[in-house]
Chains A and B, each alone.
Chain A
Amino acid sequence: MKEKPGGVRHSGGGKATAVDTLEPEGGKDRHMLPVWFFVGVILLVYGVLILATGILEFSQPPPTVLSSLHPAIWWGALLVVIGAVYVHLFRPRKSEKQ
């Protein structure tokens, strides 16, 4: 947060407090897993479940419209690919833990 053109300021009904004008601490190093990793994990799990269901039901598709296209298979595969890419890109790495 480098932009601080305001400087010291007074509020309309009284003095601005520390809580009113929260200053970021800066330089935090939390080693928190990125949100994208969690996204990847859940999409990967869902992809595997849906793809497996699609394969198991390949010979007897559910009674839905356009079931002949086997949407569970290609949608499940898509989720597996997206999930795997996210997990791979944002997985925890040893160098980041140090």
Chain B
Amino acid sequence: MTSQIISLRAVDIAIIAVYFAMVLGIGFYLKKYTQSGEDFFLAGREMSAWVAGLSFLSANLGALELMGWAAAAYQYGILATHWYWVGAIPAMLFLGVVMMPFYYISKTHSVPGYLQLRYGESTRFLGAFCFAFMTILMSGINMYAMALVMKVVLGWNIHFSIWVSSLTVGIYVALGGLFSAIFNEVLQFFLIWLGALLIPILGLLEAGGWSGVVARVHQNFPQGDYTHLWRTMGSFADNPMGIHWTGIVFGLGWVISFGYWTTDFLVVQRVLAAKDIRAAKLAPIIGSYFKMAVPFIVILPGLLGLAVLPFRLAPESAVGPGQHSYNEVLPLMLARYCGPGLLGLGITALIAGFMSGMAGNVSAFATVWTYDLYRPFLRKDASDAHYVLMGRWCTILGVLISIGTAYLVMQFKSIMDYVQALFSFFIAPLFGTVLLGMLSKRVTPAGGFWGLLAGTVASISMYALVKMNHSLLALIALSSNAKDMAENMYRGLWSWLICVFVTVAVSAFTRPKPVAELTGLVYGATDLPSEGHLPVAKRPIFWAGLAFALFLVLQWIFW
């Protein structure tokens, strides 16, 4: 472990203290507005498209986004941008244009709630159980990452960081529910951007613009190509990530990305809080524009680290005395450009990122536990006030379990790879189940359940098999050169295919639900509201098309 990177002055401490006071103050202020279950778990369903959209994106901007992907950019170069562009934009637009109407019209409170309406209680239980498990693990990982950063960057005690930040999140979410989580996420969105934006601005000034960054990176690291998105994707061995374009396009761009952005309740919950169906459709589309810009504050600092830092960073496992690891690139760049005041703002941006991700996990966990596990399986007929109280206590309990998880994951060697593995376990098959359920009336409740179970079990089995016998990697990831990231992409793809195959096969031999019971849940059985009366500039499809065109232009520019 290296010595701390940043020393804070009184003004920096004041800025951090103001932040904590503000998020707690918002929680206390919103408590009086959070009376019913709909208020606590769905923020009253009265959020505008902008609030829902920014909150949707902010919940995704957790610790791993800011620190992890800046580190990945230093390690893999611009390839890390795939997780923001092909690995996010098409899926976000698909959610807004195709899937959101079904979530919204069905009036469900959660993704497992949709599974119950479409397939039945057993599929809901499986989906809810997997989600709750994954969410708590993710929350713990988030917390651990934050505490580690605070220790390395500021020299703060790791236990102090974990307890203070997580209990703060627990208090404001328990008080104001999703209202409080969303309000704070919008606040955190601004702080993340305004706190992190100075690094790329000053970095580009120092390096002489983008062309200067490219020239310096090539000069410092002549052995690799760190500045092209697709050019090195023709072979597993040609790029530092050890991945082929098929893994990026089909594994990341299709299964993992669509699974995360369209079925992970952590993000979908924010859009379900929108005030009407047009706002619900626009929210992820608005989020997609900002998502496209996030590499500017996350990936570019990593590339700037390659270009301007006078020393080289090392992998976490190989850090020697006096050296820094890849994971420290963002704080190092922050310390390089920001003096007192700005440092406090930058550190607040990091803390805001950690807390928004954690609040997202905790509020989604509280909803799924209360409505999809506790209510249907433990106590069916309690009052609305009882479920709100359960949600509040569950929030605190979720935080405490997450703290326990944080201590557990301290031993794990690579946090990012762990997260991707979790996605491929649960999210990839779930995407198959939800997608088939929304698009086909012929898919049966039995098909949905067995497909989801088969996909999840297959994914965990593939992970375990490769751990036991590494030679199987060549079979699952199509190459023995594949790295962990590539393995996760292909495992997700296979588990999705298995889920789809089993769902279709079982559905062929079982009886589908009558069409009348699928109204509002399935394409072809639902009257989707027309947008023909709206001017073009107010139609979600127009803004989605524009975002997709911008996405294609970015691929071309950085090809």
Q: Are A22 and B187 in contact (CB under 8 A)?
A: no
Q: Are A19 and B371 in contact (CB under 8 A)?
A: yes
Q: Are B51 and A35 in contact (CB under 8 A)?
A: yes
Q: Which residues of A contact B191 (CB under 8 A)?
A: 42
Checking B15, B107, B113, B341 against A6 with a beta-carbon cut-off of 8 angstroms, the contacting residue is B107
Given A12-B118, A12-B123, A46-B18, A3 and B529 contact (CB-CB distance below 8 Å): yes
Q: Give the complex CA separation of A26 and B371 in angstroms.
A: 22
Q: Are A12 and B108 in contact (CB under 8 A)?
A: no
B144 at the interface (CB under 8 A from A): no
- The 8 A CB mask of B345-381 against A (1 = contact, 0 = none) is 1000000000000000000000000010001000000
Q: Give the complex CA separation of A35 and B43 in angstroms.
A: 13
Q: What residues make up the interface of A, taking CB atoms closer than 8 Å to B? A: 1-7, 9-14, 16, 19-25, 28, 30, 32-33, 35-36, 38-39, 41-43, 45-46, 49-50, 53-54, 57, 61-62, 64-67, 69, 71-72, 75-76, 79, 82
Q: Give the complex CA separation of A3 and B19 in angstroms.
A: 39
Checking B29, B106, B186, B205 against A66 with a beta-carbon cut-off of 8 angstroms, the contacting residue is B205
Q: Which residues of B contact A71 (CB under 8 A)?
A: 198, 202, 337-339, 342
Given A1-B276, A28-B44, A38-B26, A53 and B341 contact (CB-CB distance below 8 Å): yes
Q: Are A35 and B121 in contact (CB under 8 A)?
A: no
| B contacts with A: majority SS | helix
- The 8 A CB mask of B171-187 against A (1 = contact, 0 = none) is 00000000000110011
Known: A20-B117, A50-B345, A62-B340. 14 other contacts (CB 8 A): A1-B275, A2-B276, A9-B519, A9-B521, A12-B121, A13-B124, A16-B116, A20-B109, A22-B38, A22-B107, A43-B190, A64-B339, A66-B205, A79-B194
Q: Which residues of B contact A39 (CB under 8 A)?
A: 186-187, 190
- The 8 A CB mask of B271-296 against A (1 = contact, 0 = none) is 00001110000000000000000000
Return 27 A-B CB contacts under 8 Å, by A number.
Answer: A1-B277, A6-B519, A6-B521, A9-B106, A9-B520, A11-B116, A11-B120, A13-B123, A19-B375, A20-B108, A20-B116, A22-B45, A24-B44, A25-B36, A25-B38, A25-B44, A35-B182, A36-B186, A46-B18, A46-B345, A49-B18, A49-B341, A53-B340, A64-B335, A65-B206, A72-B341, A75-B198
B84 at the interface (CB under 8 A from A): no
Q: Give the complex CA separation of A25 and B445 in angstroms.
A: 31
Q: Are A66 and B520 in contact (CB under 8 A)?
A: no
Give the shortest distance, in Å, between A28 (CB) and chain B (any CB): 6
Q: Give the complex CA separation of A49 and B18 in angstroms.
A: 11
Checking A5, A12, A28, A33 against B519 with a beta-carbon cut-off of 8 angstroms, the contacting residue is A5
Q: Are B517 and A35 in contact (CB under 8 A)?
A: no
Q: Are A12 and B186 in contact (CB under 8 A)?
A: no
Chain B positions 464-489 with a Cβ under 8 Å from a chain A Cβ:
none
Q: Are A75 and B529 in contact (CB under 8 A)?
A: no
Give the shortest distance, in Å, between B250 (CB) and chain A (any CB): 30
Q: Are A65 and B336 in contact (CB under 8 A)?
A: yes
Q: Which residues of B contact A1 (CB under 8 A)?
A: 45, 275-277
Q: Give the complex CA separation of A65 and B529 in angstroms.
A: 55
Q: Are B340 and A66 in contact (CB under 8 A)?
A: no
**A1, A9, A20: which has the most chain B beta carbons within 10 Å?**
A20
Q: Are B117 and A38 in contact (CB under 8 A)?
A: no
Q: Are A21 and B107 in contact (CB under 8 A)?
A: yes
